[in-house]
Amino acid sequence: MGKKLDLTIFRPLLRKSLISLNLPLAELLRLLRSTLRFDDSFWQRVEEDRPVFLALYHGELLPLTLYGAFRPRLAAVVSRHADGEIIARVLQRLGYRLVRGSTDEGRYKGGSRALREIINLVREGYNVALTVDGPKGPCCRVKEGIVYAAWFTKRPIYPVRIRVKGFTLPTWDRFRVPLPFSRLEIRLGDPLWVEERENLHLYREQLEETLKRL
């Protein structure tokens, strides 16, 4: 039997192609957004507590990104990993303020710098969206970075989940792609206020359980 073709060797080329196509990709997503139906009560509730942190799963990033496009004073945290460059360029074209890095330290993440940028944006009145299980998983496992940022800034975390008709890609995060003309249902949990630094792990567990129940 012949050797199995290693498709991972094509990933750098695919990344480069997608980065170069960020403008048409953003326009395609803008078109998709125009067909979706949203309930704006989600945004109205969040705005009452501005600035806040929005905690979401990496796999639900696309539909929530489409909902948040062109909203005022909304920032998103995007990994410094090579795959993150694709997302970053598209988000910029959809009107997002970006923070490159992650609140969790590590290679490609730029944790300390990202945290400083997040704190400054919160002080300027920005809502900040973070994928709590990104950039590489495990899927649906909350990392502690968002909890620390909420404690430091004394601002609440809103857990956010979505329901929408679409299809799921065979990726680690079960990435969800909404179908055109579908209705996006946003489920918003009660705000989580992080008050005790010594119990960050307990707040992390609470956030993880809340996201699972939504």
CB atoms within 10 A of CB 123: 11
What average pLDDT score do residues 153-177 get? 93
User: Model pTM?
Assistant: 0.85
Domains defined along the chain, listed by start: 49-213 (3.40.1010.10)
Q: Is the pLDDT of residue 23 over 90?
A: no
**For residue 72, cis peptide bond before it (omega within 30 degrees of 0):** no
Q: Is the pLDDT of residue 85 over 80?
A: no
Mean pLDDT of the chain: 85
User: In which band, very low, low, confident or very high, does the pLDDT at 135 lie, cut at 50, 70 and 90?
Assistant: confident
Q: What is the pLDDT of residue 60?
A: 95
> What is the crossing angle of helices 145-153 and 111-123, to 10°?
40
Contact 147, 117 (CB under 8 A): no
pLDDT in tens, 37-57: 998 888 989 999 999 999 999
Q: Which two tokens stand for residue 87?
A: 């997302």
pLDDT in tens, 6-17: 445 545 554 455
**Which amino acid does the sequence have at 144?**
E
Q: Is the pLDDT of residue 72 over 80?
A: yes
Q: What is the pLDDT of residue 2?
A: 46
